[in-house]
Each structure stands twice: as C-alpha cells, then as structure tokens.
Structure 1
C-alpha cells in the first residue's frame, strides 16, 4: 500500500478548489471567487516548498497527472467565464474616469 503523499493531497485540494471556482463562475457568484483563489495560491506555494523533497510512486504520478489535466481544463473554463467580466469592469472604470475628468474640466452636471 502506498504512503499518504502530501504532494498528492495538495494537488487534490487544488483540483477541488478550482472545480469549486468553476461552479461559482458558472453561477456568476463573483464575490466568492477571491477566497478560493487565495486557497489555490496557498496550495501552489505549499507545493513549491514540498514537491522537490517528495518522491512519488508510479500510481501517484499517474494520479497527479490526471489531476493536473482536470485542473488545466477547469482553470481554462474559469478564465473564459471571468475574462468578459473583467473587460466589462475595465470598461466601466474607464467610463467613470472619463466622467470624473469631464467633471473637473467643466464642473458638475446641472
């Protein structure tokens, strides 16, 4: 029986968190994404710290590769759902900046 790997556990947690982000992005629950993003970042940092020191057996490597494929796929879909929201936000911020500059130049609207 294989030993319990912290590296595998971190990849499982990362995959679960990104899958949760995908569910939230599909539901347009944008406000709940940052907490999961922070969790993902913490998992990535933990993996950077521990991965070089742990050797996985062939079954664990295969499991991690499967998880990585799932992570990539889910992350790509999350990015595709978030990108239009970010572009809309940037557009709105540009509009507000333009209105602020006009207000400075010509005074407040009557």
Structure 2
C-alpha cells in the first residue's frame, strides 16, 4: 500500500479549501472567505518548506499535478466572482468619501 506523502496531503487540503471558497463565492457567502484564505496561505507556506525536501514517485507527482490544475481552476472562478464585488465596494467607498467631503465643505444635507 502506498504511503501518502505530506506534499500530496497538503495539496489535497489546499484543493478542498479552494473548492469550498468557490462554492461559497458562487453562493455570495463572503463571510468565511478570509478564514479560508488564511488557511490556504498557511498550507502554501508549509508546502514551501516541505516540497523541496520530499521526492514524489510518479503516481504522487501525477496526483499533485491534477490537484494543482483543480486548484487553479477553482482560484480562477473565485477571482472572477470576487473581483466585481470588490470593485463595487470600492465604488461605494468612493461615493461615501465624496459625500463626506461635500458635507465638510457645505454642511450636512437639510
């Protein structure tokens, strides 16, 4: 029986979290995304440490390649769903800033 490498395990965990992020983004459930992003960052940092130290056999290498493809596809989806929300938030913040500037210059509306 083959032993699962820590590298493959980390990529598997990363793929699961990014897939969940995509699911939450599709549902416009933004609240958990920062927590999941932090978990993904921790896994990536772990991979930076262990990946150079561990040699993968061909099956593990292929599994890792498949997981990376899945991660990239899910990341692209998350970015596509989050980017318009961020742009909308920036636009709202800009309007609020303009309103505050007008209020300071001319006083609050009556």
Q: TM-score range by the shorter chain?
A: over 0.9
Separation (CA, whole Å) in 2 of partners of 1:52 and 1:3:
18
Separation (CA, whole Å) in 2 of partners of 1:108 and 1:23:
42
State the match for 2:2 in structure 1: 2
* Alpha-carbon displacement from aligned partner over 1:46-72 (angstroms, at most 9, x marks no partner): 001111101100000000000000000
* Alignment coverage as a number of residue pairs: 110
Alignment of 1:36-55 (within 5 A): 36-55=36-55
RMSD: 0.7
Alignment of 1:14-93 (within 5 A): 14-93=14-93
Gaps of 5+ in 2: none
**Would you identify which runs of 4 or more consecutive aligned residues in structure 1 move more than 4 Å?**
none
Task: Using structure 1 for the length normalisation, give the TM-score.
Answer: 0.97
State the match for 2:106 in structure 1: 106
Once the two structures are TM-superposed, the CA of residue 11 in structure 1 deviates from its matched residue by: 0.1
* Alpha-carbon displacement from aligned partner over 1:13-59 (angstroms, at most 9, x marks no partner): 00000000011000000111111111100100000111110110000
Gaps of 5+ in 1: none
Separation (CA, whole Å) in 2 of partners of 1:49 and 1:103:
53
